[in-house]
Every structure is written in structure tokens, then in C-alpha cells.
Amino acid sequence: MRYLLVNHVPFGRGSRPGRFLVGSMWLTDLRAQRRALADIGADLVVATPLFDPLPPGQSGSFDEVEIDLTDEGFEYLPLPPFLSMRQFIARRGETIRRLRAGVQPADVVQADYGGHPVPLGRLVWPLAAASGARRIWVFDGADPMPRMELHANDERNAVRRFLKWRLVRRTDAFFARATAEADLVFSHNTSSMERYRSAWDERCHLFDRSFVTDSILVSDAELAERNRRLVSRNGPLRLVAAGRQVEIKGTDQVLRAMAAAIERGADLAFDIMGEGADRGAFEALAHSLGLDGRVHFHGSIPYGDELFAHWDRAHVFVITNLTAEISRNVLLSMARGLPLISYRNPGTDPMVEQHGAALLVPTGDVDALTEQLLAAHAQPENLAACAERGLALARDRTLEATHRTRAELVRRLFAES
């Protein structure tokens, strides 16, 4: 069985032929999927845009690693890269030609909504139908529609705003059609499931979005030591957040809530990891709020041991996404034994509420976030209990388990036919 995976997260050209730069988290996911597919007798072919060089921030991960394809066990089909409508129009024909060549020998084609300004899944979907391949549609951790709507609303030029909204409506209609036509649908967020509920049936399967591997999980002894330090700490309650520093991540709201909680007697510190267009604005806000010395911006830190070492020095992980998505950090923070304070999010609420694995705050409610920070500072025992439940949940939601389940559904699809 030949399994073609089409994804917008790019590779970069490496130091010599046959070598490529890949985001470390993206590579971890590909390796897990390759192993799961191999177990059902399927060969993985990965089709992504190829940049030379790989632009900063485009790898889908905190950092990049160089790989040799002969060591990885999957084939690679490079696609022309594009990051704008002008580039897409110029390279559309070549992109379709390469996708058609990749689709022809494929038994299965997996596509998703990723890609700007036009999803690659939209290009490959009719090609896969024409070839007779089985088609799998994937909704990843974020529901893309709220972001597209926000982007269209923010456009001041009336003509461009009209065109962007037309693209939003057409994209939404295509996603609904892909959900209805697919042989299998894998969704990693509940928001997309609810959005396309009219097409949702036994072909469609909901998964938690997990980047947790067995090696990331802390042991029971490590959790006990972490909770001991949390409860008996002598100093500030240390918060940590990691991700793109842009408005929709809500970092400014954490800073405002933190300042309000400190004014009411809480002793707090905050470590922020990641780069983004709004980092400078967040730094200026921290200074204006009098948080110098309490808030530290660390920039981008390589994913893996170095990043987790920074997390391990904190007491509480904070996630304040303002749009519907399943942050990779939800389960990752739980896997490291960190209690989680999070804005409510339809992508993760059912999972964490069922297990009591996070302290949830209404999205965008800075006052409520302030109260939660005050409670966390005053009642560390509640944080410790939350961390225990979170670790149990993360152990049950590993990346390997997710891909094994998905591969088994593919195996059944062919067995039934």
C-alpha cells in the first residue's frame, strides 16, 4: 500500500543532496506515522513545499534538524513553495503537476486544510478522486475558520475585504464537501466536528492532538518531587508559556492578570518562550505594568530537552489561546507534570473537563484569570492534584497510540473493501 501524505509544513534543503531540514516536532510526528503505517504494510510518501533556504518560523516547530532520507524510511515529494497569492498563481501549474505525479501510484491520499493562501488539500483533493485513491481528510489541532474570518475582518480596504470574505466562504464550503466525500475523516479538534456536523458519520473520527511520546512523560517519582517543590516553595509561583508571540495567543492578557494579582498580594513570576510579531509589544506592556524582573522573554528555544528543562523550573503552565484550537502544549505540559491554567477552548474542554486535568477560565476574561492566579498562589495543593490528573491523561494520549489507531482504521478500510 502506498500512502501519500500532503501537508503544507515545509522541508528545507539540507547541506547536501538527499538531506533536508525539518521541524523537530513535525519530524517526530512523521516518524510515528511512518512506524504505524509500516505495521499495516503501508509505505509513507511525504509531499510538502521545499524551501531553499527554509524561512525562519515556517518549520512548524521550535527548531529544525537535518535528516538523511535514507535513514528515515519514507519517500519525499518536494512541491513548489508559495507564501502569497502572487507566488501561488505563478507556481500553481507546477504544484498541480507534481501532485498529480504523486497521486497516480498512491492507494491512499491524506490531505488537510493547511496552506496559505490556498490549502494544498484543495488542490490534491480532485486529483485523488480522479485517480481512484482512497481519500482521508484531516482537521488538525486548530479550527482554521475563525482565523480566516478574523483576518478578513481586519482588512481595512473594502475591495480586499470583500475578496477575503469570498475566499472564506468558498474555503468553508470546500471543507464541508471534503468532510462529506472522504473515505475517512480524522479530526484533532472538536470545533471542526461541530462545524461540519451535518456531514459527520461513522467515517469520521475524533482524536486528541498529542505530541507526547513515551520519552517525554515524567515518572511518578519525578511528579512527586515536582509537587513537593510546588507546595513547599519559598519564593514566587513561577508561570510559564510557550508559543508564537502574537495577539491571538493572549500573552498580553496574562500580563495584565498577573499585574492585578500581584497588586492584590500574590508573588508571581512569568517565563515566556517563543518569537512572534507582537513580542515587542508584549515586552513594552510588561514594562509599563511594572513587571520588570518578574517577566522574562526567552525567545525561541529548541524543542526537546532544552525546552523541557526550562519548563521543569516552573510551577504552572498557562495557555490563553483566543481562537479555537488544540494547543500542542496542553498534553505536553501535562506530560511534564505541570498543572495547567487555560482559557476555555472548544478544542480541548471536553477532554480536560472529563479528567479534571486543567483549571479553566472563560476565554478573554482577564478578571477571571486574575482570580485563578490568586487561587493558584494561595492553594498549591489544588495545583498538585491537577498535575496528577493531567499526567494520567497524557499517559493515555500518546502520539504513537494516536497513529496506531489511525493506521488501524486505514487497514480496516481496505479490508472491508
Cell of 335: 506530560
Q: Tell me, what DSSP letter sits at residue 297? A: E
Q: Which residues pair with 242 in a beta bridge?
A: 273
Q: How far is CA 417 from CA 134, 183, 409, 410, 412, in A?
A: 11, 11, 13, 11, 8
Q: Name the least confident of 32-41, 90-99, 138-147, 301-310.
A: 138-147
Instruction: Determine, yes or no, domain membership for 79.
Output: yes
Same domain, 153 and 239: no
On the question of pLDDT at 49 being above 80, the answer is yes
pLDDT of residue 39: 97
For 57-83, what is the mean pLDDT? 90
Same domain, 273 and 327: yes
Task: Please give the share of the chain, as a percent, with pLDDT higher than 70.
Answer: 100
Instruction: Determine, yes or no, domain membership for 215.
Output: no
Same domain, 161 and 105: yes
Residue 288 neighbours by CB distance under 10 Å: 11
Residue that is written with C-alpha cell 507556481 in the block = 91
pLDDT of residue 17: 92
The residues near 279 (Cβ < 8 Å, ≥ 6 apart) are: 245, 297
For 285-291, what is the mean pLDDT? 98
pLDDT, the chain, mean: 93
Instruction: Decide the pairing of beta strands 19-23 and 64-68.
Output: antiparallel
Same domain, 158 and 273: no
Cβ pair 319, 342 in contact under 8 A? yes
Same domain, 295 and 308: yes
On the question of pLDDT at 347 being above 80, the answer is no
pLDDT of residue 323: 84
CA dihedral 371, 298, 218, 316 (to 10 degrees): -10
Q: In this predicted model, what pLDDT tens digit does every residue of 108-118 receive, in sequence order?
A: 999 999 988 88
Residue 225 CA to residue 220 CA, distance in Å, equals 9
Residue that is written with C-alpha cell 508559543 in the block = 243
Q: Quote the pTM value.
A: 0.73
Same domain, 342 and 246: yes
pLDDT of residue 349: 87
**CA angle, residues 110, 59, 112, in degrees to nearest 5:** 20
Q: Which of 324, 320, 369 is nearest to 342 (CA)?
A: 320
pLDDT of residue 383: 96
pLDDT of residue 79: 98
Same domain, 176 and 264: no
> Could you tell me the CATH number of the domain that includes residue 95?
3.40.50.2000
Same domain, 163 and 301: no
Q: In this predicted model, what pLDDT tens digit does every residue of 90-110 receive, in sequence order?
A: 999 999 999 999 999 999 999
pLDDT of residue 94: 97
Instruction: Determine, yes or no, domain membership for 64.
Output: yes
Q: In this predicted model, what pLDDT tens digit does every residue of 351-365 receive, in sequence order?
A: 899 899 999 999 999
Q: What are phi and psi of 317, to 5 degrees?
A: -95, 140
Chain centre to alpha carbon of residue 65 = 18
**DSSP structure string for 280-293:** HHHHHHHHHTT-BT
Q: Number of folded domains in the chain?
A: 2
Instruction: Determine, yes or no, domain membership for 267.
Output: yes
Segments forming the whole domain that contains residue 237: 220-395
On the question of pLDDT at 61 being above 90, the answer is no
Same domain, 93 and 123: yes
Q: In this predicted model, what pLDDT tens digit does every residue of 222-255 receive, in sequence order?
A: 999 999 999 999 999 999 999 989 999 999 999 9
Alpha helices in 270-348 (DSSP H): 279-288, 305-312, 328-335
Same domain, 29 and 173: yes
Instruction: Determine, yes or no, domain membership for 163.
Output: yes
Q: Which residues pair with 97 in a beta bridge?
A: none
Same domain, 114 and 191: yes
On the question of pLDDT at 379 being above 80, the answer is yes
Residue that is written with C-alpha cell 519548563 in the block = 311
Same domain, 266 and 229: yes
